[in-house]
Amino acid sequence: MRLFLCLFSLLGSLFAGIVQANEADLKEAIQALFPGSKIESLTQTPYLGLYEAVIDGEIFYTDEKAEYFFMGHIVDARKRVSLTSERMQQIRDSRRIALDTLPLDRAIKTVKGNGKRTLIVYSDPNCPYCKKLEKELAGVTDVTIQTLLYPILNGSMKTAEAIWCSEDRVKAWDDFMLRSVAPASKSCDAPLQILLESGRQNQVTGTPTLIFADGSVVPGFIPQAEIEKRLDQVGSK
């Protein structure tokens, strides 16, 4: 019995080593197909013999030789739930951005109340959900909001530049986002390319993207109640 257990343990170790080696080869093959992209994780799924590769924040599925890839939702037919959606939520919940890597010296800073709580927002002036978010933020107090201009939509660069180059950036931002008052056309050495590069490095693929004091990330619009809840949970920094 002892000999059998030792042999079984040895075979298990050898099998694990082979799996790890195969996954290392698979990761190398995937990296060759996605040069310049970051493979955040590679795991074998319990369904269809597929591997899940998280690449630059996106989920891909592939075979053991990386010969075929597809994006889409894998659905548990019995539970009628998207396993891909559940996995994406897990990834988002675990994602963190180090605040000291953000160009906060190039943010539009708004201090409300005592300003103790912290919120950072990548925002595009022409994004309708960003404007919707600003209306929610209008009711939030005791917070310092650092808005990072992220003009990724068509026609946003000139508007973002005019806002940044205004004498009172906070007023120009609020006027445009809350009251649809366009800023006077101005040009200056606006740091928009630096902000865009910062967003790309932090895998910000859409606006608004909210970052809280603990580095947790929420992509997309959330209502005031959820913002308040998260601000209270993470405290200040």
User: What is the average pLDDT across 189-193?
Assistant: 96
User: What is the average pLDDT across 120-143?
Assistant: 97
Q: For 91-121, write each residue's pLDDT tens digit.
A: 777 778 999 999 999 999 999 999 999 999 9
Residue that is written with structure tokens 């895998």 in the block = 203
Mean pLDDT lowest for which of 79-88, 114-123, 155-164? 79-88
pLDDT of residue 186: 84
pLDDT of residue 160: 97
- Is the model more confident about 224 or about 5? 224
Answer whether CATH 3.40.120.10 is correct for domain 99-234: no
Q: Residue 139: pLDDT above 50? A: yes
CATH number of 2-94: 3.10.450.70
Cβ–Cβ < 8 Å for 133, 119: no
Cβ–Cβ < 8 Å for 43, 51: yes
122: three-class secondary structure by DSSP = strand
Give the mean pLDDT of the chain: 88
- Burial code of 65-90, b = ≥16 C-beta within 10 A, e = fewer? ebeeeeeeebeeeeeeeebbeebbee
pLDDT of residue 36: 84
Q: For 30-60, write each residue's pLDDT tens digit.
A: 999 999 888 888 999 998 889 999 988 789 9
Q: How does DSSP classify residue 96?
A: B
Q: Residue 1: pLDDT above 50? A: no
Q: Residue 17: pLDDT above 80? A: no
| CA distance to 62, 122, 156, 222, 230, per residue, from 89 (Å) | 20, 20, 29, 15, 16
User: What is the average pLDDT across 121-148?
Assistant: 97
| CA distance to 52, 69, 93, 202, 223, per residue, from 88 (Å) | 11, 17, 9, 17, 21
pLDDT of residue 38: 84
User: What is the average pLDDT across 224-236?
Assistant: 88
Q: Residue 208: pLDDT above 80? A: yes
Q: For 53-83, write each residue's pLDDT tens digit.
A: 998 878 999 999 999 998 999 999 999 999 9
Domain ranges of the chain: 2-94, 99-234
Tokens of 108: 């539009």
Rounded CA separation 52/188 (Å): 46
- Is the model more confident about 235 or about 237? 235
